[in-house]
């Protein structure tokens, strides 16, 4: 006989559904956190490479700043204007 047996036996205990929901919630939170952090790391690497290329092309600090500001997404506060 297997450890679980069947789905019916798995949910026979009154605590199994809350435990299942808790485990699923924690797993979802971990997955979302991992994806967000992965995206932030990729964005930082992209920005670093972009800055490196602009420096290699001989752009001044003012020109680099203008490019980065032009690429930046608008904040929610800027939508009111």
* Dihedral sign for Cα atoms in the order 50, 54, 55, 56: positive
Q: What is the CA radius of gyration of the chain?
A: 25
Range 21-43 average pLDDT: 96
Residue of 72, 67, 71, 69 whose CA lies nearest to 54: 67
pLDDT of residue 13: 77
How long, in residues, is the chain? 81
pTM to 2 decimals? Answer: 0.61
Nearest to 20 by CA among 42, 76, 28, 80: 28
**pLDDT digits 0-9 by tens, 12-27:** 777 888 888 999 999 9
To the nearest whole number, what is the mean pLDDT of the chain? 83
């Amino acid at each position: 006989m297997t450890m679980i047996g069947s789905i019916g036996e798995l949910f026979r205990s009154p605590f199994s559904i809350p435990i299942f929901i808790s485990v699923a919630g924690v797993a979802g939170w971990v997955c979302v956190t991992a994806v967000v952090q992965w995206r932030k790391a990729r964005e930082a690497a992209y920005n670093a490479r972009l800055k490196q290329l602009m420096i290699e092309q001989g752009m001044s600090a003012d020109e680099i700043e203008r490019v980065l500001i032009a690429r930046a997404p608008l904040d929610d506060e800027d939508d009111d204007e």
